[in-house]
Amino acid sequence: MLNDYQHHLEQREQEGLPPLPLDSEQVTALVELLKQAKNNESEYLLSLLIHRVPPGVDQAAYVKAGFLSDVAKGNTSCESINKIRATQLLGSMMGGYNIQPLIDLLDEDDTADAAEKALSTTLLIYDAYHDVVDKARANPHAKRVVEAWANADWFKAKKALPESITVTVFKVPGETNTDDLSPATDAWSRPDIPLHAKSMLVSKMPEGLELIEALKKKGHPLAYVGDVVGTGSSRKSAINSVLWHMGNDIPYVPNKRQGGVILGGNIAPIFFNTAEDSGALPIECDVQSINTGDVITIYPYDGKIINEAGEVISTFSMRPTTVADEVRAGGRIPLIIGRGLTDRARETLNLSISEVFVRPVAPVDTGKGFTLAQKMVGRACGVEGVRPGTYCEPKVTTVGSQDTTGAMTRDELKELACLGFSSDLVMQSFCHTAAYPKPVDIKLQHELPDFISTRGGVSLRPGDGVIHSWLNRMILPDTVGTGGDSHTRFPMGISFPAGSGLVAFASALGVMPVDMPESVLVRFKGEMQPGITLRDLVNAIPYTAIQKGLLTVDKKGKKNIFNGRVLEIEGLPNLKVEQAFELSDASAERSANGCTVHLNKEPVIEFLNSNVALLEWMIAQDYEG
């Protein structure tokens, strides 16, 4: 195993890449070697076990957790790891297979302290929470774990977002879309983050990566700067690549980075959210006086950026208000999960709500009525409506995952320690790779359906077709959904498409974080003229917005009324639902966060009757799930 691994190391090194994370077979072999190794020769083996195994519910993590658990409980011996060290290392695995052993170890005299410490800063607890609370009645260590959660020790242990951040600027002028950052032609390599990062900007700025290396020599971290950043698809691989070049290593997580700063005159909403999810600091500000090679200092709390001469060259306000907490927690997703755990523990202990976190502030209630989108999200939150600016976590009924982000979503689900979906329907498709699959695509087409169906999802088959055309037939009217493809835009109900991290979160937890956007109403009136099609009406939306000065084509100081808002369309209520999707689908091109289409009941009834027949046919055809 070690010879093969050495060979792999050298091969990757020649390409300038770190080795791939260890798989379950390698970890099995590694464990055997560790058991036999003498203390003085085990350092290398141990470092592989500690740093090169993916956390969560990866199969390799299963082997690692099993071994460490055996050592910690004294079932097996290993000269280089004592019981306490084994317990500590279990605590670095984030969640999943390490949790039950750690809870057991709270009962053992020699490991209880270490297990207490490990669990106190572990967030992916899920249902095991009840086991710890039960144990807390008689076990003082378990009691202190619950108290640590309630005190948000996990959060306090992390470094707060600093008062000032000095960075060297890497600027890509004009618009960078997600395809520039993560080219579709290299979609196959996305799960291998360091390899995929080599394709960043290759056609947009061929000298980009060399420039990044040169700029790093100035000694500061780099900031990614652009006029318009992250337009287009929702692919998280775009942010993964940016952070691979500009972020920081994550302890105990191989080949992935977090942190980093992104400055944009205009940052596309999904890209902005994906940056938040990954623990980066996205800032929308005027970037016209910020250029490649500049050393600038960002004062996030004061909302200003100064150059080396000390002059203020741009100002901004941090948004959302919780972003400093997000950066501190290592991302919006760990923040939401951790904050939830703290809230839950305080409720158990009858304590008032924690004041450690910046809480989202609810906007002033205008007392006016709600838009269709505000009502749909409201129902998913159990209220009548949700005002723009409200942070909420609507129930996500439907989730779509497509193949070129599916492998990343799988990896994120493993990191979230997800063994079963909470969302009603999670659907996986193979529409992006069915026609001309590479060997790596074929492997995914074979492996992913099982991964999805064992967690309660449904997999389409290669050749079945585009995910949206299927998923639209599975949704219920007036519900909320999401998907890992920016065109997940329901023709009835509303979808907020997202990066693969958030898609995994929504699948696993059945809810998703939404900062409710404002809405833009587009109202059609009058009669359609001869020869005019729906696609022309799709295009009429930006066309009219340009004429009204609400949208500009030029990228410098670009204006886009739809950016980050919900597009709400009315005036064509008799469209068939298939037709309505043409309108909602194109809200992606507007960089809108979501879209609703007002329809009459009749076409919706017709569509659902059709879909019931399709679903029954699918069941008869043995679609799993």
Partner 1 sequence: MKAWLTNPELMERDADAEYAEVIEIDLANIKEPLLACPNDPDDIKPLSVVAGVEIDEVFIGSCMTNIGHYRAAGKVLENMGNLPTKLWVAPPTRMDQHQLTEEGIYSIFGRVGARTETPGCSLCMGNQARVADGATVVSTSTRNFPNRLGNGADVYLSSAELAAVVASIGRLPSHEEYLEKVAGIEPMSDEIYRYLNFDQIAEYSEINT
Give, as ranges, the residues between 230 and 249 that touch partner 1 (CB under 8 A): 231-232
Whether 568 contacts 596, CB under 8 Å: yes
First to last CA, the chain: 37
Strands (E), 248-345: 248-250, 253-258, 261-267, 281-284, 295-299, 304-306, 312-315
Q: Tell me the torsion sign for CA atoms 75, 77, 80, 84.
A: positive
Does residue 540 bind partner 1 (CB under 8 A)? yes
List the interface residues with partner 1, window 309-338 (CB under 8 A): none
Choices 101-109, 123-131, 413-421, 553-561 (CB under 8 A): range interacting with partner 1:
553-561
- Cα-Cα-Cα-Cα torsion 538, 540, 544, 545, nearest 10 degrees, comes to 20
Buried b (16+ CB within 10 A) or exposed e, 395-405: bbbbbbbbbbb
Binding segment for partner 1 among 50-58, 247-255, 357-365, 370-378 (CB under 8 A)?
370-378
Question: Is 395 an interacting residue with respect to partner 1 (CB under 8 A)?
Answer: no
Closest distance to partner 1 from the beta carbon of 238 (Å): 13
Distance, CA of 255 to CA of 251 (rounded, Å) = 10
Single residue of 86, 145, 498, 541 touching partner 1 by CB under 8 A: 541
Q: Quick one: 56 or 264, whose CB is closer to partner 1?
A: 264
Closest approach of partner 1 to the CB of residue 192, in Å: 16
Q: Which of 190, 185, 164, 411 is nearest to 297 (CA)?
A: 164
Site for partner 1 in 151-210 (CB under 8 A): 177, 179, 183-185, 187-188, 203
Distances (CA, A) of 105 to 134, 221, 537, 596: 15, 41, 64, 51
The stretch among 31-39, 106-114, 248-256, 527-535 that binds partner 1 (CB under 8 A) is: 527-535
CB of 184 to partner 1, least distance (A): 4
If the CB atoms of residues 296 and 588 are measured against partner 1, the closer one turns out to be 588
What CA–CA distance (Å, rounded) separates 578 from 588?
A: 17
Q: How far is the CB of 462 from partner 1 (least distance, A)?
A: 8
610 binds partner 1 (CB under 8 A): yes
Helix (H, G, I), strand (E, B) or coil at 299: strand
**Count of CB atoms within 10 A of residue 466's CB?**
16
The verdict on 449 binding partner 1 (CB under 8 A) reads no
Which residues between 483 and 522 bind partner 1 (CB under 8 A)? 487, 492, 518-522
The CB-of-521 to partner 1 minimum distance in angstroms stands at: 4
* Pairing state between β 594-597 and 261-267: unpaired
Q: Which amino acid is present at 281?
A: L
Cβ pair 522, 294 in contact under 8 A: no
Name the minimum Å distance from CB 367 to partner 1.
Answer: 9
What is the identity of the amino acid at 171? K
Q: Which is nearer to partner 1, 10 or 616 (CB)?
A: 616
Interaction of residue 598 with partner 1, rule CB under 8 A:
yes
440 touching partner 1, by CB under 8 A: no
Residue 576 touches partner 1, criterion: CB under 8 A: yes
Task: Confirm or reject binding of residue 581 to partner 1 (CB under 8 A).
Answer: yes
> Using the rule CB under 8 A, which residue among 38, 137, 159, 368 binds partner 1?
368
Q: Give bridge partners of residue 95 from the DSSP assignment.
A: 124
Which part of the chain contacts partner 1 (CB under 8 A), choosing from 311-319, 323-331, 346-354, 550-558?
550-558
Give min distance, CB of 422 to partner 1, in A: 20
Q: How many residues bind partner 1 (CB under 8 A)?
A: 109
